[in-house]
A and B are shown apart, each in its own frame.
Chain A
């Protein structure tokens, strides 16, 4: 089945640093989604991307839908302690269920 390769698996950064994570797939997706999951909670949608090449921002978050439709990245600028959590990418091909990556665990050191 479809799989998403998400990297890095985990990151330890200093408060104030910028963060970048990405997701790649061997399959084409129509939609790329980025979620954040806090401990003990369900994932929360951060950004949705609907068109190849699309660059979308949400506050300090910026995400892009790759031109090939097989990849996406998420950047977080000027990280703060509440950015700690697990970030998941998810791809939607329209015909099959959402496919999630394995997540990037972000730790922020104050």
Chain B
């Protein structure tokens, strides 16, 4: 069974630029999560989708971050404009449903200069 796919794996941008990350969850998984993992920290949830609806985006900095999961499968996370403190690994995870085991992708490593 294929795991959670993410791209790109690495991205370097300058501050104030825009960037987008893509996630393809495990087939059949209704719940999709985006996490931010700053160096030396554990992952922190940014947004959770159930199918194509947002369940929790309370920790998403909505002035610059946005995410969508239009058809209830793939998802994109965008940052516009990026700040230095956005440098982190952005992890996507999926689960069969809310409260089920989460399976993580390899992450996208973002460096903002």
Contacts and interface: CB of A to CB of B under 8 A. Distances in A.
Given A42-B4, A42-B93, A48-B101, A98 B106 contact: no
Interface of A: 4, 6, 40-45, 48, 88, 90, 92, 94, 97-98, 100-103
B4 A90 contact: no
B106 A90 contact: no
27 contacts: A40-B106, A42-B4, A42-B91, A42-B104, A42-B105, A42-B106, A42-B107, A43-B43, A43-B91, A43-B104, A45-B101, A45-B102, A45-B103, A48-B101, A88-B42, A88-B43, A92-B99, A98-B43, A98-B102, A100-B42, A100-B43, A100-B44, A101-B42, A102-B41, A103-B40, A103-B41, A103-B42
Contacts of B14: none
A94 B101 CA distance: 13
A94 B99 contact: yes
Chain B binding site: helix, strand, loop or mixed by DSSP? loop
A44 B104 contact: yes
Interface in B41-64: 41-45, 48, 56, 59
Contacts of B93: 42
